[in-house]
Amino acid sequence: MPASWWLLGTAFAVSVWWAFFVATTWVVALSAGTAAATVVTAALWRYGSVCVVVEDEGLRVGRARLPHQYVGEVAPLDEAASRAAAGVDADARAFLVLRSYCRTAVRVRVDDAADPTPYWLVSTRRPDELSRCLAARTVQD
């Protein structure tokens, strides 16, 4: 998660505190500022904590799981290919986990005739490593 997001969140909490400080008592302002800081921290922490893990059972992205038996072709994508895959070349049925601060991604084809999802597109800072791990069925991103 970029530091600039944390700085913007801090600026937002301070702005809330200041708006309440000039209009109400310091206790109300402190409560409002603390509440704003708590909400911003929780939101940024949750957004930035999506785990991409290759386990013995398969690929886990957040709470979603793709067993190894259904993992098809794995393609690491550079920045331009990731942008195209998430935009003009995207399939509406695809499973997407895109984080704006990760500019590269991995496309994992789903080899399951019963699953309408053609592929998973997962943003990651290390697409080559994730691809190798999926191929070797090992560790984590």
User: Rounded to an integer, what distance in angstroms lies between the CA atom of residue 12 and that of residue 8?
Assistant: 6
91 close to 118: Cβ distance less than 8 angstroms: yes
**pLDDT number for residue 138:** 39
Maximum separation of any 2 CA atoms in the chain, in Å: 63
Residue 141 pLDDT > 60, yes or no? no
- For residue 62, give both structure tokens: 């957040």
**pLDDT number for residue 137:** 67
Nearest to 135 by CA among 49, 72, 44: 72
Secondary structure string (H, E, C) spanning 14-51: HHHHHHHHHHCCHHHHHHHHHHHHHHHHHHHHHHHCCC
Query: What would the pLDDT profile of 114-137 be if each residue is shown by its tens digit?
Result: 989 999 999 999 999 999 888 876
DSSP symbol at 83: H
Query: What would the pLDDT profile of 100-120 be if each residue is shown by its tens digit?
Result: 888 999 999 999 889 899 999
16 close to 38: Cβ distance less than 8 angstroms: no
Average pLDDT, the chain: 89
Query: What would the pLDDT profile of 74-96 be if each residue is shown by its tens digit?
Result: 999 999 999 999 988 889 999 99
